[in-house]
Structure 1
Amino acid sequence: MTTAASAAFTAPAEADIPSGPLGDVIRQGRDIFTDTPEHAKAYVGNGLSCSNCHLDAGRLANSAPLWGAYGMYPQYRKKNGHVNTFGERLQGCFRYSMNGKAPPLDSAEMVALETYAWWMAKGAPVGVKLPGAGYPKQNFKPPLPADYVRGEKVYAANCALCHGADGQGQQVAGRNVFPPLWGAQSFNWGAGMHELGNAAAFIKANMPLSRGGTLSDQDAWDVAMFMDAHERPQDPRYTGDLAETRAKYHDTPDSLYGTVVNGHLLGAAPESH
């Protein structure tokens, strides 16, 4: 297992998806993953697709690839306080990142997504964190505390071209080419990307698109701060009290929810409730 885990994993080629009923469901899962609002619209509350954060249709290393996640479940998650199956983990993506509702575990959409993930992880060791799985966060800290003003400058220079000066992304024919980073059509306050460490690690490894690794650690943290210091849809676990919700679900320096940044109390905007 140690030897297998130390070698780079390569997911099966898309051209190798088999024909027949199994292949049909794998392809259905791929389609849901790459255009979620079109193929799982009953469960999506914003314009995002899975592949907006899991790049290259869930293949790209250091972008939380499916092949790095599938074999790590079941596992205990502090976020909901119990052992999660892989299906439950996917349900959380719909609830938080998609700001929608969880598909039933036996739904056609969930079966297709799990089958696609199984295919992507075919041949990977089970229960072993593979190189390139998740986001590269180990020992990843900025020299200085993350800063909104510096982050605004990094955003203008490196991110606004694709995501817009207003952070609302770009669409073609009603579909996101570049996703919104805040506001009503972005991920909500319960999503993992709202946490500074997750966002900074993703940005450092993958952004600007096709130029991952070109920002400094400090720039990645600063622009993550800028992005995550904007309002977005409310955490669906909101108790009706902002401070109580922060204490219960966001009691970490990584979360800006319920804190004041740039003169704004995050999570308190009327459209957030």
Structure 2
Amino acid sequence: MNNRSIGLALTGVILAGGVSAGVWAEYETLVEMGYPAPKEGELVHVPPTMEDLEEADLHPELKQVIRRGYDLFTNTQQLRGVNVFNDMNCSSCHLGEGRQPFSGPVWPAAVTLPDFRGKNQHVNNLEERIAGCFAYSMNGTPPIYGSDDMVALSAYHQWLATGVPMYPGQPIYGRGFPRLDEPEQAPDYARGEQIYQEQCAVCHSEDGSGLYQAGEYVFPAPWGDGSNNWGAGISRTFTMAGFVKHNMPLGQPMSLSDQEAWDVALYITSQERPQDPRYTGDVRETRERFADTFHKHTQYGTEREHDGALLGNHGNTGEKGEIRPWNVGMPRFEYLED
């Protein structure tokens, strides 16, 4: 099917790559569910599927590596105890195999990196961005740059970006977890707790420990030792609010109001989790050191209003123990400053 014959009105929208009727139906369904339609000037990309990979004109060895990347992305727990020290998979936050708009689709990283990243204050490439997810979201330590697993994960990201130009000059439709407007009322912990127990606990449990069936991980832990640590992007309240609004409850996205999303995000991000690997030994000092680049958007190092608990005031690193991610705090390109 020609790009211009799709059913959804796309006046002024820029399409990347070929878009088939069957695949575009995914996006039409999103709009029907309440997601915003693409705006004029936005770049729209429908990532290829693993079924598309079978038909692709690529070397068989490359296909094998991409399949390995997909396998690692959707079942990162196979690296448990080596690179992963919590209950998360990459696909726990990046839903739909990393393809789904408004759920942190991963293909934009393949076409917008290398780029400067404020969190670590230097230019990052794709491997370094993936490594950051291991250090923070997986509460682990990343595979070595250039290793088989890192190449496989990078190849999967780049496969999803097939047909998209490098450094596109247009806004990308559905990128990240879109930030919500500031709420009319300040986010409220008590309201958020009620929403969580009514809407979220059935999958993630009342105590935030996630859901297991017959010993198998089913739904991730939003806090606690099985969750991401205090340095993960989704520990920021605005990021969690955007994720919740656009993706939760599972199968019912966009069903919560913006205010409800902010409230439940505050509740979730006000719960304890493993220590930020950048921890200096003093939570207030660590917060101050990384406030401008990160922690001004988290509850880390602040006193929880309802009970006065100083969040992050501990040395708990979860299952990881004394292991420190090798990529954290590693300076880059300092010689260029001269």
TM-score scaled by structure 1?
0.94
Hey, what does 1:205 align to over in structure 2?
246
Paired amino acid for 2:148? A
| Residues 258-267 or 172-181, more deviating | 172-181
Counterparts of 2:266 and 2:50, CA distance in 1: 36
Aligned pairs for 1:4-15 (under 5 A) are 4=15, 6-15=42-51
Hey, what does 2:303 align to over in structure 1?
260
Aligned pairs for 1:103-182 (under 5 A) are 103-128=143-168, 129-137=171-179, 140-182=181-223
**Identity within the alignment, %:** 44
Hey, what does 1:67 align to over in structure 2?
107
Hey, what does 2:53 align to over in structure 1?
17
Is the CA contact (8 Å cut-off) linking 1:168 and 1:181 kept in structure 2? yes
Paired amino acid for 2:316? E
Unpaired runs of 5+ residues, structure 2, are 1-11, 16-40, 319-338
TM-score scaled by structure 2?
0.77
Hey, what does 1:91 align to over in structure 2?
131
Hey, what does 2:332 align to over in structure 1?
none
Note closer, same or farther for the CA distance 1:228–1:265 as it changes in structure 2 (3 Å cut): same
| Residues 121-130 or 208-217, more deviating | 121-130
Shift of the alpha carbon at 1:254? 1.6
SS in 1 for 2:157: helix
SS in 2 for 1:171: strand
Paired amino acid for 1:10? V
Aligned pairs for 1:39-54 (under 5 A) are 39=79, 41-54=81-94
Give the structure with the higher percent helix: 1
Counterparts of 2:173 and 2:81, CA distance in 1: 33
Task: Encode CA deviations 1:43-93: one digit per residue, 9 max, x unaligned.
Answer: 101110000000011011001111222211011111111000011000000
Q: Of the candidates 291, 297, 300, which is equivalent to residue 250 of structure 1?
A: 291
Counterparts of 2:156 and 2:79, CA distance in 1: 14
Q: Of the candidates 302, 312, 316, which is equivalent to residue 271 of structure 1?
A: 316
Shift of the alpha carbon at 1:179? 0.2
- Mapped pair 1:185 → 2:230: no
Hey, what does 1:232 align to over in structure 2?
273
- Tell me the number of residue pairs that the alignment of Structure 1 and Structure 2 aligns: 272
Is the CA contact (8 Å cut-off) linking 2:274 and 2:317 kept in structure 1? yes
Is the CA contact (8 Å cut-off) linking 2:14 and 2:44 kept in structure 1? no
SS in 2 for 1:229: coil
Is the CA contact (8 Å cut-off) linking 2:275 and 2:315 kept in structure 1? no
Is the CA contact (8 Å cut-off) linking 1:32 and 1:40 kept in structure 2? no
Is the CA contact (8 Å cut-off) linking 1:40 and 1:109 kept in structure 2? no
Is the CA contact (8 Å cut-off) linking 1:250 and 1:257 kept in structure 2? no
Unpaired runs of 5+ residues, structure 1, are none
Q: CA RMSD in A?
A: 1.8
Counterparts of 2:315 and 2:257, CA distance in 1: 36
Task: Encode CA deviations 1:31-54: one digit per residue, 9 max, x unaligned.
Answer: 000010115652101110000000
Which one has a bigger Cα radius of gyration? 2
Counterparts of 1:241 and 1:169, CA distance in 2: 29
Counterparts of 1:78 and 1:7, CA distance in 2: 24
